Amino acid sequence: MPEAFHKLDSLSEAFPEHGLKDDILYVKAQLFKKQKDFESAIAMYKLIIQDSPEEIKCDNAIFELAELNEHVLMNKDRAMELYQTLFLDYSNSTLAVEARKRFRVLRGDEIQ
C-alpha cells in the first residue's frame, strides 16, 4: 500500500490546483480505513469536508465519517449530526435517503 500512497501524493504534487484533490483525499481515506488506521481516515474525510464542500466527494466523506462515528468510535450523537447534515445540506446526494434512515434508527424511531 505504500506504493498507492506514493502515487496519490505524486498526483497531488504534480497537479496541485486540479479538481482531483477531493478524489485523491477520498481514496487515501479509503486506504487508511482498509488498514484500520481510522484516525488518518477521519483526518482525510474532514479535509474533504472543510476544503471541498462543493465537490463531488464531500457527501461521501460526510457519510463515511458518520459511519465511523457510529460503528467504530461509538459516538452516536456525532453520527446523527453528520447524517443530518448530509440529508439536509446535500439532499440531492444519492446517500441522503440512507443517511435519513440511519439518523432515524439512531434516534430510536420505529423503522418498517
pTM (2 decimals)? 0.88
* Domain range annotation of the chain: 2-107
77-97 average pLDDT score:
97
Query: How would residue 4 be classed by pLDDT, with cut points 50, 70 and 90?
Result: confident
Which of the four pLDDT bands, split at 50, 70 and 90, describes residue 9? Answer: low
The architecture CATH gives domain 2-107:
Alpha Horseshoe (1.25)
**Rounded CA gap, 12 and 24, in Å?**
7
Instruction: Copy the grid coordinates of residue 107.
Output: 434516534
For residue range 45-74, what is the model confidence (pLDDT) as tens digits?
999 999 999 999 999 999 999 999 999 999
Q: In angstroms, what CA-CA distances link 6 with 11, 13, 30, 38, 104?
A: 9, 10, 15, 19, 40
| pLDDT at 11 (0 to 100) | 65
pLDDT for the residue numbered 48: 96
